[in-house]
Amino acid sequence: MLNIHSTEQLLKAIALASAALSVLIGIWYIIRRPHLNRGTKSMLLLGLGAFPLIVSLTGNIASFEYTLSRPFCGSCHVMGPYLRDAEDPKSNSLAAMHSRNHKFGENSCYTCHADYQMFGAITTKQNGMKHLFKYLTEYASTGPDGEGGPPIHLYKPFKSGACMQCHSATAKKWVETHADSAEAIRSGEMNCIDCHNEIHPLALSRRPKTAMGVVR
């Protein structure tokens, strides 16, 4: 029995059902080869036009939703150590702690690494295409975790704005504990991860070159 628990799953179910109907109409036409009368044309318009359109719309949305999830980010082998660390219930790294937070849930990679701006989703997905290209051209056959490949690094420095989506820089407790550096953090001179730097320790231990300072 099909269990649907989220919008993404519902969209996937609609897309698969529409694809199946479209294929069935196609197979019916190939086997029966009916005369091209008005009924056949209408049926084919459903099979070649309407159902594929539904597959395209729902499939695109469902796929986009899936690309936000941690399993998708970890589906390239170079991300293996990052994924294992984030999903380790005993790990105390920042990635693991945030992944255990239900507000981040399955989308913990995207929530912290997506560009926090008006067209952030688009620029993030553009970078995703760049990731895929680099993965295919530079990290193929580089070991089970891609440790033989070039060091992995962010395209631009990690900004504190991503942290401040949730951690307010004006809350009383935060101001008290960050009295010395509050202004520098707000102005961008200092970053949260300058001090809170235990982000992906397991991943960095698998890549000594990256751990020496390229990452951030």
Please select the residue that binds another protein; options are 6, 7, 75, 165, rule is CB under 8 A: 75
Report in angstroms the alpha-carbon separations of 126 from 115, 122, 164, 188: 11, 6, 24, 25
Instruction: Answer for the pair 98, 54: CB distance below 8 angstroms, yes or no.
Output: no
**Which burial class, exposed, middle or buried, applies to 129 when counting CB atoms under 10 A from its CB (0-12, 13-18, 19+)?**
exposed
Least spacing, CB of residue 22 vs another protein, in Å: 5
Instruction: Answer for the pair 46, 25: CB distance below 8 angstroms, yes or no.
Output: yes
Least spacing, CB of residue 46 vs another protein, in Å: 11
Least spacing, CB of residue 13 vs another protein, in Å: 10
What is the number of other CB atoms lying within 10 angstroms of the CB of residue 94? 20
Residue 122 as a binder of another protein (CB under 8 A): the answer is no
* Tokens linked to 61: 């949305």
Please select the residue that binds another protein; options are 4, 10, 23, 171, rule is CB under 8 A: 23
Report in angstroms the alpha-carbon separations of 120 from 98, 116, 187: 21, 5, 21
Report in angstroms the alpha-carbon separations of 85 from 50, 156, 194, 212: 44, 23, 20, 19
Please select the residue that binds another protein; options are 10, 36, 166, 171, rule is CB under 8 A: 36
Residue 29 as a binder of another protein (CB under 8 A): the answer is yes
Contact window for another protein (CB under 8 A) among 10-18, 100-108, 184-192, 201-209:
10-18
| Nearer Cβ to another protein (129/179) | 129
Residue 195 as a binder of another protein (CB under 8 A): the answer is no
- Site residues (CB under 8 A) for another protein? 12, 15-16, 19-20, 22-23, 26-27, 29-30, 36, 41, 44-45, 47-49, 51-52, 55-56, 59-60, 62-63, 66-67, 72, 75-76, 128-129, 132, 135-136
